[in-house]
Chains A and B, each alone.
Chain A
Amino acid sequence: MTTRRAFWGTSAAFLGALACDPERYPRLTQPVPGRIVGAHFELGHAVRERLPFPAAAPSSKHRVLIVGTGVSGLSAALELARAGHRDLAIIDVEPEAGGTSRAGSTGGFQHPWGAHYVVAPSADQESMVKLLTDVGMMYIDEDGQLDAHEEYLVRDPEERIFFEGRFYEGMLPLHALDPESRRELPAFRRKMLEYCRLRNGDGRKVFHIPLAAAEIGPEIERFDTMSMAAFLEAEGFRSRGVRFLADYACRDDYGTTSAQTSAFAGIYYFASRDENEEEDGRGYLTVPQGNGLFIRHFLAELERFAVRPKLGHVAYAVQETESGVRVATLRGDRSTHVFEAERVIFAVPDHVRRALLPQLAERNPPLEYGSWLVGNLLMDKRPGGRGAPLAWDNISFHSGSLGYVVATHQAGIDHGDTVLTFYVPLLDDDPKKARQKLYSYSHADCARLLLGELEAMHPGSSVHCKELNVMRHGHAMVRPSVGLRASGALNRAPVGRSHFAHTDFSGLALFEEAFHHGRAAAAEVSRLL
């Protein structure tokens, strides 16, 4: 039975363009089934309580302990295992491995809970190429050319944008925009193309992926000292279209507005991509479960070395001894365990690192994190809309959310039920306040926000939402704020026998960066074992 849930007009949703807040949308008259999944805040808070190291607890010994099962933790583990170090322990606070690349399923459809695509690498990104050929997304043909298997390249139509009541194909409603925007947009793209084409002495791109392995000279480094919004202002880009594009880019990759993002990170979004992508398609690789595919691959590979993550363990205290490091963990049943290892790789976000290793505070200023709300909506009818047809990525010019991705698009399932994955970054200037706000949302608040976003694009369609599950990522993405690169916060050097791996150390939350830092930390540890 269809339940009457929607009743609202669209006008409310168009007001106050950017902020995504449940309060802005009408209350739901009937609850939507579903729940808040993931995130063990309670256990996580044990870290902040700074409990003393347990006097006596069951313990286990390993050569290397890895804390964190996101992309950086698992790629570090796999790299070590492949180098012959199989006596590994991997732990994570969450009940499931994957960090912000986790995947799930609703109504029989696989969908992401976070990161959901990677940019197809160029041939010189050797480790990414190896990963993508290992998982079968790419291949090297008889002529030695790297190519992607068609079914993993985002299926056309890739994206559409909702603008003033109508959908347009692509990321911008080009022909519907004002003349100033239409004039400025090509100029902006040309400007970004200049950065895209910048080469170092060795012929490598300056805006290389991963950034961690790029060589950035001082003339580019200066973009770290201004915001993307200030950069646009200084370059004379003031049109609505360019401002939207820059803002969208910052939101899409970093969960921030262009005023909160350094110009360096803003430019990196555009300049790191393939300069031919305009003509050649954007070369995004994706599957219905998003980057959960890579997590599954890492876990399956580790399984071959009989390495299995231990989940539901929160590391809360660290002791360094003469021959190694001892890490005490707490479980849901309040039992403790001590992992002893020669070396530890902390593949966890900054606030966890700092709580465990207070000495970091002397060296690394704290990082700021943006919060995200990700919602998966099971729909018994696909949203339509005037203009361009349903695409993979469906965004709105009038919202601060990133719109939704259709989970069945890449699978070629075009009829019947589907799942829409909504991505909502919390764009408040104060990240702590945003996080508190996010954690205060009930399921009903989340539903009100997400269905409000849906209604704004598709009036009347929220009655077709049969189930709505959400995940609240409090520390979803490091914020690439102004001055971050020079602040010392990105220093990844080990502290004693503790090593670090995380996308944070690039100052950008991107798969390629996490993968790079995981492998780099593993190489570092491997040399010392």
Chain B
Amino acid sequence: MPSPAARPAFLFLNVLVVATCGLVYELLAGAVASYILGDSVTQFSLVIGLYLSAMGVGAFLSRFVERPSARFIEVELIVAFVGGISAPVLFAAFATTAAFSVLLYGIVVMVGMFVGLELPLLMRILEGRLEFKEVVSRVLTFDYVGALAASLLFPLLLVPALGLVRTSLVTGIANAGVGIWGSYLLAQELTPRERRRARALGWGLIVFLALGVTQAGRLTSWSEEILYDDPVIFAKSSRYQRIVVTHKHGGFQLFLDGNLQFSSLDEYRYHEALVHPAIATLPRPPRSVLILGGGDGLAVRELLKHPSVAEVTLVDLDPAMTALGRDFPLLVSLNGGSLRDPRVHVRNEDAFVFLRENQRRFDLVIVDFPDPNNFHLGKLYTRYFYRLLSRALGEDGVAAVQSTSPLLSRRSFWCIVETMRAAELQVRPYQIQLPSFSQWGFVLAKNAPFAEPTTLPRVPLRFLSDDGMPSLFRFSPDIAEVPSEVNRFDNQVLVRTYEAEWRALGK
């Protein structure tokens, strides 16, 4: 227990810790905001501005606070709680709510206000123990030293070692520590009941936040670590999925529920491969086309290179996704405004239900679903589904099916091929190199036997060439066919296989 004479020195140490913590919260909020919402200049400006002005409000309100010692300890505990959980709450909210920015700025204002109360209260506690000029000089000195400490610790030590979520929790623990410590330093100014309560709450908070530190891995695994290495420039929770666009040196990437769908840097390889080899198998240029999935409009862009195409029906479950493809400037410039073309008819329906009700036949069907990582998607890869697909192809109609990576999920790829065969489709599997992902696989399918396409239609292409065609249909030994079960509506083996393969990859 420090002697009464030593108290001011310890209180200045408190100023140092409090100042460090306060700045860490501000940096955390700025980092989380620019990390998730992108546009870091705006986000940092907004967060710093709001935070500082909220501190001003706190400083102003401090004049209404009586008994500064008791209140100081309470403020410490509140800051410990709100600041401590700020980053985990923001990450959790980002994945689940649309009102992320409201919550973000709310937390910034709240933490700022309480941090703003800290120094005025401390100065009043020191008032009378030291001369006024001493108080001001020392408090501000320690405050600025704390700021320096935070600005060095945050990027150099805390974030690299702990990550954003744990940094937030650990800083909260430090704040709670100050609260408990204060209850000893200022013991004489507190009633016994206040002392007991402050210590109980403080320790409770420390235990709670420490538990959070041990659990943080679960939270960050599905937000920070898995998801996005790059700034997020668009994020929206639709009724069906979380849509996120990130930005990376000169390109952008689309994620659905955290799974990369394409990168603008090499998507042309994928979409050329998805569309043109199928057309190359047709006896005459296609007129009617059905696209299942593909709300980004990129496959449509490739289709519209073919003047014969008179009508494209695009069935994508999520109106938010097709709206993005139609209106999001970066995507519109990438897909050439394909979804605004009068030949394109967008229907926001479940492709499974659409195909079951469908009586029409199409010259070409493009099947471009996300990988089968859940049972909702798994039904779109069943034998039953491929029988419906077979019905939608006329005698000469052809389908091209995105069928995951034969390198990363080899058994899943060949399971899809085997399932299509079981639906009595004639199949031609093929694959390409896709730097953003890996080696990627597709399947061409028709109702009647057909030869590998060799001559591509005469449209502008960047990736495919007649010379390269034969190699698409060759599978090297490490991705060659493996025996596989048929994925049926009532067994969904593909979802289980796919999950097992990705788990094995540690994803």
A interface residues, Cβ below 8 angstroms from B: 150-151, 153-158, 281, 389, 411-415
Contact = CB atoms under 8 A, between A and B. Distances in A.
Interface stretch (B47-55, B215-223, B277-285, B486-494): B486-494
A153 B489 contact: yes
B239 A415 contact: yes
B350 A414 contact: yes
B376 A155 contact: no
Contacts of A389: 374-375
Given A389-B375, A415-B239, A154 B350 contact: no
Contact of A156 (B240, B352, B383, B492): B492
A282 to B, nearest CB: 9
B352 A412 contact: yes
Closest 7 CB pairs of A and B: A153-B490, A156-B492, A414-B376, A150-B384, A412-B352, A150-B489, A155-B489
16 contacts: A150-B387, A153-B489, A155-B379, A155-B489, A155-B492, A156-B492, A157-B375, A281-B491, A411-B353, A412-B352, A412-B356, A412-B379, A414-B350, A415-B239, A415-B240, A415-B350
B253 interface: no
B43 interface: no
Contact of B375 (A156, A411, A415): A156
Nearest to A412: B352
Central interface residue in A154, A155, A158, A281, by most chain B CB within 10 Å: A155
Given A150-B384, A157-B375, A389-B375, A413 B490 contact: no
Nearest to A156: B492
B350 A151 contact: no
B382 interface: yes
B321 interface: no
B429 to A, nearest CB: 22
A404 B240 CA distance: 23
B369 to A, nearest CB: 13
B113 interface: no
B72 to A, nearest CB: 37
B274 interface: no
Interface of B: 239-240, 317, 350, 352-353, 356, 374-376, 378-379, 382-384, 387, 488-492
Contacts of A155: 379, 489-490, 492
Central interface residue in B378, B489, B491, by most chain A CB within 10 Å: B489
A264 B437 CA distance: 58
A415 B353 CA distance: 11
Central interface residue in A151, A155, A412, A413, by most chain B CB within 10 Å: A412
Given A151-B384, A156-B492, 9 more contacts: A150-B382, A153-B489, A155-B489, A281-B490, A281-B491, A389-B375, A412-B356, A415-B350, A415-B376
A150 B387 CA distance: 10
Given A412-B356, A414-B376, A156 B489 contact: yes
Contacts of B490: 150, 153-156, 158, 281
Nearest to B239: A415
A157 B378 CA distance: 11
A62 to B, nearest CB: 42
B388 to A, nearest CB: 9
- The DSSP consensus for interface residues of chain A is loop
A412 B492 contact: no
B92 to A, nearest CB: 15
B455 to A, nearest CB: 37
A154 B488 CA distance: 10
A414 B375 CA distance: 9
A411 B491 CA distance: 15
Contacts of A157: 375, 492
Contacts of B239: 415
A457 to B, nearest CB: 19
A412 B375 contact: no
Central interface residue in A151, A156, A158, A415, by most chain B CB within 10 Å: A156
Contacts of B350: 412-415
B488 A150 contact: yes
A158 to B, nearest CB: 8
A156 B494 CA distance: 11
Contacts of A156: 375, 378, 488-492
Contacts of B387: 150
A506 to B, nearest CB: 28
Nearest to A151: B384
A389 B377 CA distance: 13
B237 to A, nearest CB: 14
Contacts of A154: 490
A112 to B, nearest CB: 19
Given A157-B375, A389-B374, A413 B353 contact: yes
A409 to B, nearest CB: 10
Nearest to B377: A414
A281 B490 CA distance: 8
Contacts of B375: 156-157, 389, 414
B233 to A, nearest CB: 27
Nearest to A157: B375
B494 to A, nearest CB: 10
Given A150-B382, A150-B384, A157-B375, A412 B488 contact: no
A153 B379 CA distance: 13
A384 to B, nearest CB: 12
Nearest to B492: A156
Central interface residue in B350, B376, B490, by most chain A CB within 10 Å: B490
A153 B352 CA distance: 17
Contacts of B384: 150-151
Contacts of B317: 415
Contact of A412 (B240, B353, B374, B491): B353
A156 B375 CA distance: 8
A88 to B, nearest CB: 37
Contacts of A158: 490
B216 to A, nearest CB: 19
Contacts of B240: 415
Nearest to B376: A414
Contacts of A415: 239-240, 317, 350, 376
A166 to B, nearest CB: 15
Contacts of B356: 412
B123 to A, nearest CB: 46
Nearest to B496: A156
A299 to B, nearest CB: 24
Contacts of A414: 350, 375-376, 379
B489 A151 contact: yes
A281 B379 CA distance: 17
Contacts of B379: 155, 412, 414
A155 B352 CA distance: 14
Contacts of A151: 384, 489
A281 B492 CA distance: 11
Contacts of A413: 350, 353
A415 B238 CA distance: 12
A157 B384 CA distance: 16
A389 B495 CA distance: 12
Nearest to A285: B490
Nearest to B356: A412
A146 B374 CA distance: 31
A153 B384 CA distance: 11
A151 B379 CA distance: 10
Contacts of B488: 150, 153, 156
Central interface residue in A153, A413, A415, by most chain B CB within 10 Å: A415
Contacts of B374: 389
A411 B356 CA distance: 10
Contacts of A150: 382-384, 387, 488-490
A407 to B, nearest CB: 14
A152 to B, nearest CB: 9
Contacts of B383: 150
B105 to A, nearest CB: 26
Contacts of B376: 414-415
B219 to A, nearest CB: 15
A281 B350 CA distance: 26
Nearest to A158: B490
